[in-house]
Chains A and B, each alone.
Chain A
Amino acid sequence: MASNEEILAGLAEIVNEETGLAPEAVELDKSFTDDLDIDSISMMTIVVNAEEKFGVRIPDEEVKNLKTVGDAVSFIAGAQA
């Protein structure tokens, strides 16, 4: 099971692959839409890749609650538990 730091690093890698954003720009307090400029389609790609990487299920209705990178890290950590 991945630690929060590992989840953040893994997410940063996924975001980097989808958008080209530098992994270090992916910080806990950053908003996916406002700060990282990630659109809804890219967000879905990131969600599916995160599911695969961390072995969790992120339902469609949960995706809209994942406003910041920190929200996503918490959700994934909780889902792994």
Chain B
Amino acid sequence: MSTPTLKQRPVNEFSRILGIGAYRPEIIVTNDDVCQWIDSSDEWIRQRTGIVTRHRAPKDVSVIEMAVAAGAEALANAGIEASQLGAVIVSTVTHPYATPSAAALITEKLGATPAPAYDVSAACAGYCYGVAQGDALVRSGAADYVLVIGAEKLSDVINNHERTISFLLGDGAGAVVIGPADEPGVGPSVWGSDGSKWDAIGMTHSMLDVKDFSQSAMKSESVLDAAAAGEMQSSLWPTLRQDGQTVFRWAVWEMAKVAKQALEAAGITAEDLGAFVPHQANMRIIDEMVKQLKLPESVIVGRDIAEAGNTSAASIPLATHRLLQENPELSGKYSLQIGFGAGLVFGAQVVRLP
């Protein structure tokens, strides 16, 4: 008996971003607000970070709601029905359940069930990781249309009195739809990791520390002890911290190299770019990267951080969304995007803007 030949899905030769969406939560936190919590000033924060405000979501708005809002706009902008989605990829580090995924619920709320849905944990590189995968899924034929979402409610995992990172962070969501195209619209992704710097950015401690503590508090018989234990437990909630100087150095000088590789891999030069949208970590990092990359003045640089703060996986699509609103002529032009963050992880690619 002869072995039958397997069928494989036909590939799509090219892919591109077809539409983009964004969600910015309503609470605006100013630098003066921040200075109630840390000893600083509006001037100091602007000068060191370029941040003027950041958005934060109210208690009843979760990562899921923000992601659904951004995803729905991206679908509408792309002219794609939720039912056409072949996969939903959600990059987030602030979905507060280890399982089930944020993506499965977001997919259901968008009306895209039974599309395959999964979360990506790649922090501030998460959106670029998602685009790398979306591009691969579309071109391989595994999915015709892929929704890539970056969504973060970082305000749940900060300590307002902490000085290394909390005051930089904001909440928000951004999304794109990637689909088949007649010509190349997503350049090769240059992506990777460096776990030797695993400690450079991350949580103050493990969830297991919280578990151990709450178990010992439950055994306590004294009401007073239990109250004190409750207070201590809330201070045990893991929050973000970073080694700012190490991260700054890595972000600027190592990431400028990665950005150059992404340009080379795409076969274009800085002169061919319409926009440069790096992860919105710190305006000083953005300025220094622009310098390292020797970008011509004609390239419009995403500087959404001034208004939105650092929103981790959401920052690149949010900044891109703003650029397209403010500069509609960028539509169809090339944008170099690069995400980098906790892991450490990084991802970059040139995309044709929707």
Task: Give chain A's interface residues, CB within 8 Å of chain B.
Answer: 39-41, 43-45, 47-48, 60, 63
Within 8 A of A (CB), among B22-70: 47-48
Task: Give chain B's interface residues, CB within 8 Å of chain A.
Answer: 47-48, 243-246, 248-249, 252-253, 282, 284, 288
Would you mind naming 27 contact pairs between A and B with Cβ atoms under 8 Å apart? Answer: A39-B47, A39-B48, A40-B244, A40-B245, A40-B248, A41-B48, A41-B244, A41-B245, A41-B248, A41-B282, A41-B284, A43-B245, A44-B245, A44-B248, A44-B249, A44-B252, A45-B252, A45-B288, A47-B249, A48-B249, A48-B252, A48-B253, A60-B243, A60-B245, A60-B246, A60-B249, A63-B245
Task: Determine the main DSSP class of B at the interface with A.
Answer: helix
Task: Determine the main DSSP class of A at the interface with B.
Answer: helix
A45 (CB) vs chain B CBs: closest residue? B288
Interchain pairs with CB closer than 8 A, number? 27
Assembly CA distance A39 to B45 (angstroms): 12
Instruction: Determine how close the nearest CB of chain B comes to the CB of A45; give it in whole angstroms.
Output: 7
Instruction: Determine how close the nearest CB of chain A comes to the CB of B277; give it in whole angstroms.
Output: 21
Q: Top 5 closest A-B pairs, CB basis?
A: A60-B246, A44-B248, A41-B284, A44-B249, A44-B245
- Which residues of chain B come closer than 8 Å to A60, judged between CB atoms? 243, 245-246, 249
- Which residues of chain A come closer than 8 Å to B248, judged between CB atoms? 40-41, 44
Assembly CA distance A43 to B47 (angstroms): 14
- Which residues of chain B come closer than 8 Å to A48, judged between CB atoms? 249, 252-253
- Which residues of chain A come closer than 8 Å to B246, judged between CB atoms? 60
Assembly CA distance A40 to B125 (angstroms): 24
Instruction: Determine how close the nearest CB of chain B comes to the CB of A54; give it in whole angstroms.
Output: 16
Instruction: Determine how close the nearest CB of chain B comes to the CB of A55; give it in whole angstroms.
Output: 15
Assembly CA distance A63 to B248 (angstroms): 13
- Which residues of chain B come closer than 8 Å to A40, judged between CB atoms? 244-245, 248
Assembly CA distance A43 to B245 (angstroms): 9
Assembly CA distance A60 to B200 (angstroms): 11
Assembly CA distance A60 to B284 (angstroms): 18
Residue from A43, A44, A48, A63 with most neighbouring chain B CB atoms (10 Å):
A44
- Which residues of chain B come closer than 8 Å to A41, judged between CB atoms? 48, 244-245, 248, 282, 284
Given contacts A41-B284, A44-B252, A45-B288, 15 further A-B contacts (CB under 8 A): A39-B47, A39-B48, A40-B244, A40-B248, A41-B48, A41-B245, A41-B248, A41-B282, A44-B248, A44-B249, A47-B249, A48-B253, A60-B243, A60-B245, A63-B245
Instruction: Determine how close the nearest CB of chain B comes to the CB of A41; give it in whole angstroms.
Output: 5
Assembly CA distance A48 to B292 (angstroms): 12
Instruction: Determine how close the nearest CB of chain B comes to the CB of A19; give it in whole angstroms.
Output: 12
A61 (CB) vs chain B CBs: closest residue? B246
Residue from B249, B284, B288 with most neighbouring chain A CB atoms (10 Å):
B249
Assembly CA distance A41 to B243 (angstroms): 12
- Which residues of chain A come closer than 8 Å to B244, judged between CB atoms? 40-41
- Which residues of chain A come closer than 8 Å to B253, judged between CB atoms? 48
Assembly CA distance A44 to B288 (angstroms): 11
Instruction: Determine how close the nearest CB of chain B comes to the CB of A13; give it in whole angstroms.
Output: 16
Instruction: Determine how close the nearest CB of chain B comes to the CB of A53; give it in whole angstroms.
Output: 14
